[in-house]
Chains A and B, each alone.
Chain A
Amino acid sequence: MSYLILLLLVGCTEPFPIQDIAFEDILIVESTITNERKHQLVKLSRTISLESFGQKIEDNATVKIKSDNGVIFNFTQDTESGNYISDEEFQAEQNVSYTLYINTSDGNSYTSKPVQIKAAVPITRLYTELISENGKQGIEVFVDTDNANGNGQYFRYEYEETYKVQLPNPKTFDWEIVNYNNFTRTYQLELTQIDQEFICYSSVGSQGILQASSSNLSENKIRRFPVRFIDTEDPILRERYSILVKQYVQSLEAYSFFAILENLGNAGSLLSPGQPGYVTGNISSDANTEEKVLGFFEASSVSSQRIYFNYNDFGLELPPYFVECEVEVVEGPTESLKRKLEFEGFQIFFYEEIDLKAFYHIAQSECSECTSFSSNIKPDFWED
């Protein structure tokens, strides 16, 4: 019985369906301009109710950034992503202040506080180690930053991982259903032989806020900051894997804002949750100071580093494939073959005729076609 009690004692935490008690429509601003010369980005969106999904882009706003040396950079909304992209390429420069101005289509205007970049700090070392975490073995990607010049004690990290995928059953034919008869439900399957694509490349960006501060550490160094943990059984390790880690140098204000946001998202300390609340960033409404606006306009110098590795570098066993590939041999053309091809995404990777009967070897698209879940284009940077 005590057994039971202790289970309870440590707390009974259970998920419950999130419900809207009240909803407030708030403008969200997310923008980091960097010292890289490129089309800079401003993301504008609005809050959505807790029960809904996705993102509500703020359309048709006028966005511009002014520097204190008098330059104005205009932004135009990209129709595809909804993001606002600078009309021309530019880079944030040291000792120049930048201010973001937003006019929304409903006639409100918002201004950020002026921001400046700090000197860039290179990543000293990006490396991996086989470790075990919470009883699971995996590869941890660590960052070391020496930061010899003593600048920038606050860092934010983003990464992009790219991994090669080898299809177990790459498709060999494109197919087309012709002469389908609605009564007899018969049809002909026209196959076109294609070049097999064995290899795909998937690229995935990081999610969430990753931050490190060297202000509490000796010598102002970041040591062994864990950026990404990959389980040894993760299929992304089956072929070659690469990770690009970007290190942003943040101001104290920006660091605090991101840290609070991150904290609020992880307010789940079991018995003593932190005090949540509305976070103010550095954007405010021009007309109504009580209006809630959430977001941060940040200028930051960035540095990055990429590494590659394979699972056998660590003496690991080959991880399983993403899905269990069900290879089926179907005599056709039949109604069930048609359903599998048309609605279940199966692809034909082999065809044979035995005794005048046609046999189609089919597999799910995840096992046979790059474009269904990855990309067949090899990235420019890729090194085998």
Chain B
Amino acid sequence: MKAKLLVILFLLLSFYQMAGQNDQIISISFHNTPLKEAILQLEEQTKTTFFFKETWLNNQIITKSFNQQNLRHVLDGILENTTINYFIKGESVILLNNTIVYPELPPGYFYNDELGWQTDRASQKAEENQARSAPIFQEQFASPAAAQKRSIITIGKQNPNSQKTSFTLSGYITNQVTSEPIQNLSLSIINGSKYTITDENGYYSIELPQGINKLETNLMGFRKIYQTVIIYGNGTFNFEIAENVEALEEVVVESNRDANVKAATVGAVVINSESIKTIPLVLGERDLLKVATTLPGIKTVGEGSSGLNVRGGRADQNLFILDDAVVFNPVHFLGLFSAINPFTTQNLEIYKASIPAEFGGRLSSVFDIETKSGNTEKLSGEGSIGPITANLALEIPVVVNKSSLVAGVRATYADYILRSLDDEQLKNSEASFYDAILKYSHDVNEKNSVAATLYYSKDKFSITSDSLFGYSNRLASVKWSHTFSQKSRATLIFGSTQYKYDIAYEADANTNFDFRYVLNDNQFKLNLDNKLNDQHKLSYGLSSKLYVTDPGTVKPVGDSSEVEEKSVQREKGLESALYATDLFNVSDKLLLDIGLRYSFYAALGKSTQKVYEEGEPKSENSVKEIRNYTNNEIIKTYGGLEYRISGRYLLGNDLSLKAGFNRTIQYLHLLTTNTTQSPTDIWKLSDLNIAPQRADNFSVGLFKNYGENDFEISIESYYKKMNDLLDYKIGAQLILNDNLETELLQGEGKAYGVELLVKKNKGRLVGYVGYTYSRALIKLDGEIEEEQVNNGDYFSANFDKPHDFSFVGNYRFNKRISASVNVTYQTGRPITYPIGKFVFANEDQVVYSDRNKYRIPDYYRLDIGMNIEGNHKKKKLAHSFVNISVYNVLGRNNPYSVFFVNKNGGIKAYQTSIFSIPIPTITYNFKF
């Protein structure tokens, strides 16, 4: 208020001085004269002093003559095509960029705080005429806080005769350092509901009401910018935003910021790779997926299980996409590390509830991982050295400002350490992994750009001395984007993925073998975006993917091996989809995202399929008919319309209500005999006997931000109903089984929950607290006893953990040092516990309870970390960053599994925990 008064005083003073007008008559002519030169000539001739900023006058050429005109006329003439206004004050001429200085105050000027007409959009509309004709005296209201961030910019020239009340501001947002476009950055008015997101070229376009607008940018990993814009006309403004590298203050994990309140999607989260670096680490690895599990609704069965369970969904119901191609097993070493290189990753977008219509094929969620576009100007890199792995990522410009390469390699040295151990079992073990990624991006021209990614990850480990497991993901994708106009754009994608694993078994008998499993997934997708008008943004396309799996091939190893070479028949399936989405801005308050996806699946030959008698257990004895299909003959088709509908209704500026309904169909199923996902599980395609899984998901949420989004609070709830979930009989043999359907059961699932998340985004202490209450239940109720589990009643899924609390916080002591803390508490997961023992075959045996009737003890853990940034000198070889973490500070022995073994004729109970004592690590990171 004080500042405001000062400004007013200054203005009043100015008006007082305005008394002496300059009425000189001038004759002057310019021919290709630079504007500055012209001004100086005028200054010379009129003996006045001009005040201006030289940069305003750059690059302007004047060719005009004036004969016997007054100064005002001349100035009007030469400034006609510029954004410059002027103000003559005695012997001085003050040039003003964009602004008109009004010689008198508008009526009610001093009351406008009470009236609030310049900021309150509602009343602005009500007094439209006044607003239109009223001069805008808002620049002085740019609050000191906002002004601190960036100087005010003005767009367009104020035209007192303007009839428009809103204008379009557009432009590109780029990374200050690398000049790469920044995608998915949200730009919004702090006090209003206007909101936009940059596209992949960093382009944005936002309609702003005339006058002052406080804009805010948001993207995790980038500095937040508050930009006050005064808009008088359509215009462009490009932002350059610095990465949030040096500052530790930034929010650790962030849902798409304003999207929290403003976007129509429910349950969407973006995690930026850079921003999670202060979170305490396990074994020195920065891990996007691990961070994801600290958010409500995303869980794992436990440390050491590779699958994620999103909102009561199974581990196979998540679609992991790396640069548009699917990754089937995005983890290393049984899930202890994620296979996503944090240095090459831009961000990870997670859709827990509203899955965009362009994605399909999984029931519960989409994890969309995007690799950075490389630095096109100079070579830069990032690396780390931790206790388990070393990691190096480079960004290499190929054609300056046009194309670049991102390369990342990460590998373990664990193997070497294992071999140096004394323990016999461990000594013979092997555990190594690596992953490598290469991305090439090329801006062909303004309209076209191409990006291509290659990725490979490989794991090798042995747990027993006679077997060696190995698995790998191989992925390639090419994306071509073409911009027809600022309003329409097309993207064409080809993606190819291969996931395979093998088990080499070498014991001393005739059973030595080599087992292989291969899954191929090839897809193309055409996506079109079309902004029809301010109300409708259409996005539509089609996609098709071909799955080919070889579900198991076993070969003898060595001459003495008697193992028969055997393959389970190849499976083939074609999954296609047509989809369309309309982002429909119904009103300022109501935004709808209406998506429809029609997916269609055909199981294809060549194949032999069995038809079983109905009402009898599927077994060798109930085969009614054996059908043979020729190559590419359609065996069976499934399909259906998938609704992807969500909406947001603004209840206030910072408060919104969202709801969504999602239907999803999944034609590919993961089969596992284990309670947790492991790398040797089999992906099975739907066929004659196995129907696709289907889910209906209802979600609703209330979102509220406080302050300038200092705090975000959200409460979300969901109910999910699933059909035809695949399960199996106890002791099922899934490997090398030609009649897999005889071991499988299909049942119903339901999941529901409430998620609460509170985030603090600013200040020395940042972080979030999340709490979830959720249930995940399954019912296997076949018609015959053999196909029932727990008498056909609903029972807890393996990952059903009702209470889940997590806290992630970072406290910054100074620019270089910060400390962080993670706290996690979860209900123990369900297990099947022995309820008695007996003697059979002269040996003690146990009887187990109904499935998942009991629970292991609750899980809790505290991690702490200390982050030390290297010095902030500008000139240095590399910027270094050291992270010291202690995982599981309390040394809590969280049981991961409990199991019972017959040893020497007696039953012994064991519990396994993965990290049972505090684990300190130091990781050195550098960046250049």
Contact = CB atoms under 8 A, between A and B. Distances in A.
Interface string A207-230: 111000000111101011110000
Contacts, number: 250
Interface in A366-381: none
B674 A275 contact: yes
A216 B736 contact: yes
Contacts of B917: 8
A3 interface: yes
Contacts of B920: 1
B905 A207 contact: yes
Contacts of A256: 731
Contacts of B674: 269, 272-275
Given A224-B510, A276-B730, A46 B910 contact: no
Contacts of B853: 22
A79 interface: no
Contact of A265 (B305, B566, B833, B901): B901
A5 B388 contact: yes
B841 A216 contact: no
Given A50-B907, A267-B899, A275-B832, A290 B417 contact: no
A246 to B, nearest CB: 12
Interface string B355-367: 0000000000000
A13 B835 contact: no
A144 B776 CA distance: 49
Interface residues on B, range: 35 or more
B171 interface: no
A50 B836 contact: yes
B110 interface: no
A50 B676 contact: no
A40 to B, nearest CB: 17
Contact of B791 (A3, A266, A273, A290): A290
Contacts of B554: 216
A292 B791 CA distance: 11
A134 B466 CA distance: 9
Q: Interface centre among B283, B510, B837, B846, by most A CB within 10 Å?
A: B837
Given A12-B914, A277-B832, A5 B854 contact: no
Contacts of A131: 508
Q: Which 3 A-B pairs have the closest CB atoms?
A: A47-B836, A260-B731, A272-B674
Interface of A: 1-3, 5-26, 28, 30, 45-50, 55, 131, 133-135, 140, 142, 205-209, 216-219, 221, 223-226, 252, 256, 258-261, 263-280, 289-290, 292, 294-295
B177 interface: no
Given A276-B848, A280-B785, A45 B305 contact: no
A47 B463 CA distance: 34
Contacts of B304: 11, 271
A275 B849 CA distance: 12
B897 to A, nearest CB: 5
A267 B900 contact: yes
A261 B836 contact: no
B510 A223 contact: yes
Contact of B838 (A45, A266, A269): A45
Interface of B: 283, 304-305, 333-334, 336, 387-388, 414, 417-418, 420-421, 423-424, 426, 429, 431, 463, 465, 508-510, 554, 560, 562-564, 566, 620, 673-676, 678, 728, 730-731, 736, 785-786, 789, 791, 832-843, 845-851, 853-854, 893, 896-897, 899-902, 905, 907-917, 919-921
Contacts of A270: 463, 912
A131 B509 CA distance: 10
Contact of A278 (B424, B509, B849): B849
B343 to A, nearest CB: 21
A7 B848 contact: no
Contact of B843 (A1, A3, A13, A265): A265
B846 A8 contact: no
Given A2-B417, A48-B837, A274-B675, A15 B914 contact: no
B344 to A, nearest CB: 25
A219 B847 CA distance: 37
A268 B907 CA distance: 12
A209 B843 contact: yes
A15 B909 contact: yes
Nearest to A209: B841
A306 B388 CA distance: 53
Contacts of A217: 510, 562-564
B827 to A, nearest CB: 16
A9 B675 CA distance: 19
Nearest to A135: B424
Chain B CB within 10 A, most for which of A1, A8, A295:
A8
Select the residue from A10, A133, A294 with max chain B CB neighbours within 10 A: A10
Contact of A9 (B837, B905, B914): B914
21 contacts: A9-B336, A13-B912, A18-B834, A18-B900, A47-B847, A50-B834, A50-B837, A55-B838, A140-B508, A207-B842, A209-B841, A209-B843, A216-B563, A217-B564, A223-B562, A224-B509, A256-B731, A271-B463, A273-B675, A275-B728, A278-B851
A133 B791 CA distance: 44
Contact of A266 (B333, B463, B901, B913): B901
A275 B423 contact: no
A44 to B, nearest CB: 11
Nearest to B554: A216
B131 to A, nearest CB: 66
Nearest to A294: B847
A265 B785 contact: no
B919 A8 contact: yes
B843 A208 contact: yes
Nearest to A140: B508
A265 B845 contact: yes
Given A5-B388, A279-B731, A280-B785, A16 B838 contact: no
Contact of A279 (B510, B730, B837, B901): B730
A272 B909 contact: no
Given A12-B913, A18-B900, A276-B848, A47 B424 contact: no
Contacts of A10: 426, 429, 431, 463
A199 to B, nearest CB: 26
B897 A273 contact: yes
Contacts of A46: 838
A50 B844 CA distance: 10
A30 B421 contact: no
Contacts of A226: 509
Among B730, B736, B836, B854, chain A packs the most CB atoms within 10 A around the CB of: B836
Contacts of B848: 264, 276-279
Contacts of B562: 217-219, 221, 223-224
Given A264-B846, A265-B902, A275-B730, A3 B424 contact: no
B901 A267 contact: yes
B849 A22 contact: yes
Contacts of A260: 730-731
Nearest to A133: B508
A3 B912 contact: no
Contacts of B426: 6-7, 10
A217 B420 CA distance: 38
A265 to B, nearest CB: 4
